[in-house]
Amino acid sequence: MIVLKLLIYRLIRAMVLLWIVSLMIFTLIRLAPGDPVDYILGANDLAIGDTGTIELQKKQVRKNLGLDVTATQQYLNWIKRLALFDLGNSYRSGKSIVSELADRLPATLYLAGAAFLVQVSIALGFGIIASLNEDRWADHLIRLIGVLFVALPSFLLGLILLEIFAIRYPVYDMIGQVSFKRMWLPALTLGVLTSPPVMRLIRVNLIREYSRQYIVFGRSKGLGKKRLVGIHALGNGLLPILSVFGVNLAGLFSGSVIIESIFVLPGIGRYAVESIFARDYPAITGYVLLITFIVILLNLFVGLSYAFIDPRVRNTGYITK
């Protein structure tokens, strides 16, 4: 029953979030400089002859785009089409944006997923080591390396790695389909660079857990270090970080914009950047809505996962923050 209540609460939250974002995006579209009609018809400053025809043409395009009604009506129409997964057509290619995004989504999903695995495993491994050696040289060394990596611009590292692994010693495949051979280098770059903050968080949380009474009790009971740290401290210490994992995964979808561009991956991030240069507004809108959808889905998933992982949430509805 409580899980159901939680589900409904989370769903309502997700809907409200979606609504707010849709309003924000719609406002931005309306505020954007330039008239979409001009983009479609092209610059008509040079048009010679009958301006009446051009005005008529403009009116027709405006009507086709649904721009001849009030803003509220436009918003409602827009939402209606969104509900049917109709994002319109790209100004550039004329193809439907849903299918264009769908073609590019796998590369981004692969990249974000793989980078997430790299990020979490590095953060977990070094976070545990650092927490067990608090204020000793291993801890300081890991921290220093973390500070160095956080300061490294992803585009610099990406370009250097590309030069080394694709040109000097060609072990990385620059062309080809979305596959391990194509993805390992960008995923590694993205994962390594984003791991230090997560590592720091894991370290701090674990150190806090070590001083808890249940650990002292476990130690006095004679439990081994592996079991104490690996099961008891890790389980409790990671719980508050779960939501950070969700936010991070969402961040990887967007952080992949630079990496996708450097490694020329056919993902949605590079699509968005190309769309910006082409002033392809429907495509940009589609990209943002897709990211919004992914973010909301992730939040929903993380929120609900607490109910399955943490018995306190399942039985009492208590929400860990």
Partner 1 sequence: MKLKTHLPDTVRSPMVVSGFLLLLAIILSISTFQFTSDYDPAIFDAGNRFNPPSVSNPLGTDRYGRDVLSQVLLGGRITLATCSMAMITVMFIGITFGIVAGYSGGIVDRILLSLIDVLLSFPSTVLAIVIAGFFGPSLKNLLIAVTCFWWVRFAQITRGMVLKIIHEPDIEAAVAIGASRFTIIFRELLPRVTGPIIILATMELGKLILTISGLSFLGLGAQPPTPEWGALLSDGRVYLTRAPHLIFAPGIAIFLTVLSLNLLGEGLLSLNKGLKKEEVELL
In angstroms, what is the minimal distance from the CB of 54 to partner 1? 25
What is the spatial distance between Cα 273 and Cα 181, in angstroms, rounded to a whole number?
24
Q: Closest Cα to residue 241, out of 280, 264, 209? A: 209
User: Which position among 156, 174, 231, 297 is part of the footprint of partner 1 (CB under 8 A)?
Assistant: 156
What is the spatial distance between Cα 126 and Cα 146, in angstroms, rounded to a whole number?
10
- Rg over CA atoms, the chain: 25
Between 117 and 150, CB nearer to partner 1: 150
In angstroms, what is the minimal distance from the CB of 53 to partner 1? 30
- What is the pattern of x (binds partner 1, CB under 8 A) and - over residues 177-196? --------------------
What is the spatial distance between Cα 202 and Cα 207, in angstroms, rounded to a whole number?
9
Q: Closest Cα to residue 249, out of 111, 156, 131? A: 111
Q: Tokens 């043409």 identify what position?
A: 57
Binding to partner 1 by residue 277, rule CB under 8 A? yes
What is the spatial distance between Cα 18 and Cα 25, in angstroms, rounded to a whole number?
10
Query: Which one of 41-49, 154-162, 221-229, 311-319 is the stretch in contact with partner 1 (CB under 8 A)?
Result: 154-162
> Which burial class, exposed, middle or buried, applies to 71 when counting CB atoms under 10 A from its CB (0-12, 13-18, 19+)?
exposed
Q: Closest Cα to residue 41, out of 73, 25, 64, 69? A: 64
Query: Which one of 80-88, 124-132, 155-163, 178-186 is the stretch in contact with partner 1 (CB under 8 A)?
Result: 155-163
Binding to partner 1 by residue 76, rule CB under 8 A? no
Between 151 and 175, CB nearer to partner 1: 151
User: Which position among 253, 263, 271, 306 is part of the footprint of partner 1 (CB under 8 A)?
Assistant: 253
Q: How many residues bind partner 1 (CB under 8 A)?
A: 51
Binding to partner 1 by residue 142, rule CB under 8 A? no
Q: Tokens 């931005």 identify what position?
A: 28
Binding to partner 1 by residue 291, rule CB under 8 A? yes
Binding to partner 1 by residue 105, rule CB under 8 A? no
User: Which position among 3, 7, 26, 29 is part of the footprint of partner 1 (CB under 8 A)?
Assistant: 29
What residues contact residue 23 under an 8 Å CB cut-off, 6+ apart?
75
Between 162 and 307, CB nearer to partner 1: 162
Q: Tokens 């070094």 identify what position?
A: 126
Residue 44, φ and ψ in degrees, nearest 5: -110, 20
The binding site for partner 1 (CB under 8 A) comprises: 17, 20-21, 25, 28-29, 31-33, 143, 147-148, 150-156, 159, 163, 167, 197-198, 200-201, 204-205, 244, 247, 250-251, 253-255, 257-258, 261, 272-273, 275-277, 281, 284, 287-288, 291-292, 295, 299
